[in-house]
A = this chain, B = another copy of it.
Amino acid sequence: MLQNIKVAVDAVVFGYESKKNLSVLLIKRGVEPFKNTWALPGGLVLEDESLEDAVERELLEETGVQIDYLEQLYSFGKPKRDPRNRVVSISYFGLVKPNHFKIQADTDAAEAQWFPITDIPELAFDHKSILDLAKARLKSKLHYQPIGFDLLSKSFPFSDLEHLYTTILEKDIDRRNFRKKLMSFGIIEETGEMSQSGSGRPAKLFQFNTKKYKALAKDGFHFEIKFV
* Partner-B contacts on A (CB < 8 A): 1, 3-7, 44-51, 72, 74-75, 77-79, 86, 88, 90
How many identical subunits does the complex contain? 2
The reply to whether B6 and A3 form a contact with Cβ atoms under 8 Å apart is: yes
Separation of A147 and B16 alpha carbons in the complex (Å):
35
The reply to whether B88 and A88 form a contact with Cβ atoms under 8 Å apart is: yes
- 12 A-B contacts (beta carbon < 8 Å): A3-B47, A4-B47, A5-B7, A5-B45, A7-B7, A47-B79, A50-B77, A51-B75, A51-B88, A72-B74, A72-B75, A75-B75
The reply to whether A1 and B75 form a contact with Cβ atoms under 8 Å apart is: no
Additional A-B contacts beyond A1-B46, A88-B90 (16; CB < 8 A): A1-B47, A3-B44, A3-B45, A5-B6, A7-B88, A45-B77, A47-B79, A48-B79, A49-B79, A50-B77, A51-B75, A72-B74, A72-B75, A77-B90, A88-B88, A90-B90
A88 nearest CB neighbor, chain B only: B7
For A90, the chain B residues whose CB sits under 8 A away are: 75, 77, 88, 90
A90 nearest CB neighbor, chain B only: B75
For A3, the chain B residues whose CB sits under 8 A away are: 6-7, 44-47
A74 nearest CB neighbor, chain B only: B72
For A79, the chain B residues whose CB sits under 8 A away are: 47-50
For A7, the chain B residues whose CB sits under 8 A away are: 3, 5, 7, 77, 88
Separation of A90 and B74 alpha carbons in the complex (Å):
9
Q: How far is the CB of A226 from chain B (nearest CB, A)?
A: 9
The reply to whether A5 and B47 form a contact with Cβ atoms under 8 Å apart is: yes
Q: If the complex has contacts A3-B46, A88-B7, are A51 and B72 also in contact, measured as CB distance less than 8 A?
A: no
For A5, the chain B residues whose CB sits under 8 A away are: 5-7, 45, 47
